[in-house]
Structure 1
């Protein structure tokens, strides 16, 4: 671990550049699987080794960053009390390796995180990943989720079956948003206030459904930092961290300014991709895994 700490801090000192005020933006990082096992080629970029995650957290610790959960960050913004070097760590889907690999590293560095869970597959496997050849990847069990909560992890909802929410009818959309909240709150005996849109796909209808279901905040992707002022807390942008993201690349992500050009490009890309999917073949991916 000492070698990982040394390597992680070797890139410190990145200059954000003249005129860039980074104090008014919050980086929300998005991770997925943290696994020492091999992954299929199409899923490989989502499966980070524990050693790489450890190097990231060692860097954040040495650089003086303070980690918050998504809901803690939103509360701090409301109170105008967000620490200057704040960062949010999120982990999507709820793979079993969060408990076996990620959680021990988070605990070692005393770092906070938000875990977004696909509730329909708890205790089973990631069957929605069949097209990537990862349908057998183990998912967290309820007992492991409770242990994560006991370690200070915020558990949020990531839908029930990981569908494309922006292509569902109103009835299915409501079920996919409300059912995971009810399940998580019942099983974990705590309020669930955060949501993440599967694939990052959203629409005005899905955003409204999330807000109406009682979630305080929700995350998309967009690869932008979240602004302190004027942010829609049900459309919080995140920064993608891939399996091969180095410490130096992570540092650049943390210092990435939003800029109007970046925001406009993200919006255009999102609109074009949504249009392309509407005319393409639709794979609903929402069949109840318990059926």
Structure 2
């Protein structure tokens, strides 16, 4: 088995003064991508991992939640510049709107990409995945509400002829944890043809995954130094930071 760190990003901003825990500056993001490129990390999409039984050393997956417009402006050009791949996860109800689920938080509102912007993304570089329809915690929803969330997501996908990989990033990293609820939830994912489910966990994974519906991601925060980034790549989130 091989180590596979999966990094989780949210917003990208123009200046380090605008950073918060969900927002990385474009300067820091470039230093991180440059480090990955210079140290020969290989990036993969989930569609590729599905067909693989083993991965090269220094494999990594980059993920961005919410498909905010700032990711299009700042992250996408850097992915192209450094020849890296990433998976972007869509909250379907909010396409072309703003991140209304953060309405009462301390974070400023962020624009979500439009259908046109999503369709123009280079699919060789960027894979699109699911981030639910309503961006609600799955543990707060009933089985029928979760199923309805999938149905509404599929309606958007079909209406707009979007190419979406069978990978789902759980909103807030949240999913039902009780033993019976978890079994029902995973059955529902399988019935909806979801092949990978991503939580947080803040540790590198072993590949092949032990459980395709409990894949761990490492949260990259705006205040992380390059040294912290390098430590997270190797160990995940430590109590030191």
TM-score normalised according to structure 2 size: 0.88
Give the 4+ runs in structure 1 shifted more than 6 A.
Answer: 37-40
Aligned equivalents of 2:173, 2:59: Cα separation in 1: 23
**Residues 1:156 and 2:134 aligned together:** no
User: Taking structure 1 as reference, are residues 50 and 212 closer, same or farther at Cα in structure 2, changes over 3 Å only?
Assistant: same
Partner of 2:186: 207
Q: Displacement, 1:155?
A: 0.3
Aligned equivalents of 1:159, 1:37: Cα separation in 2: 30
For residue 118 of structure 2, the aligned residue among 133, 142, 145 is 145
1:123-202 aligned within 5 A:
123-134=96-107, 136-150=109-123, 152-202=125-175
Q: Displacement, 1:232?
A: 0.8
Aligned equivalents of 1:135, 1:178: Cα separation in 2: 30
**Residues 1:62 and 2:10 aligned together:** no
Q: Displacement, 1:25?
A: 1.5
Q: CA offsets, 1:193-233, max 9 Å, x none?
A: 11111001112133332222101111110111111245111
Partner of 2:29: 53
Conserved 8 A contact 1:159-1:177: yes
Q: Secondary structure at the match of 1:64?
A: coil
Q: CA offsets, 1:68-102, max 9 Å, x none?
A: 123323422xx33x111100000011111111111
User: Which region of structure 1 is more displaced relative to structure 2, 211-220 or 143-152?
Assistant: 143-152
**Residues 1:35 and 2:13 aligned together:** yes
Q: CA offsets, 1:220-274, max 9 Å, x none?
A: 101111112451112111111111222211111121179xxx9xxxxxxxxxxxx
Structure 2 residue ranges without an equivalent (≥5): 177-181
Conserved 8 A contact 1:29-1:238: yes
Partner of 2:61: 88
Structure 1 residue ranges without an equivalent (≥5): 1-22, 263-291
Partner of 2:179: none
1:227-246 aligned within 5 A:
227-229=206-208, 231-246=210-225
Greater share of helix residues, 1 or 2?
Answer: 1
Aligned equivalents of 1:135, 1:180: Cα separation in 2: 26
Q: Please, what is the CA RMSD of the aligned residues?
A: 2.3
Greater share of strand residues, 1 or 2?
Answer: 2
**Residues 1:72 and 2:45 aligned together:** no
Aligned equivalents of 1:177, 1:245: Cα separation in 2: 34
Q: Displacement, 1:192?
A: 2.8
User: Taking structure 1 as reference, are residues 39 and 123 closer, same or farther at Cα in structure 2, changes over 3 Å only?
Assistant: farther
Partner of 2:233: 254
Conserved 8 A contact 2:195-2:213: yes
Aligned equivalents of 2:204, 2:164: Cα separation in 1: 26
Partner of 1:109: 82
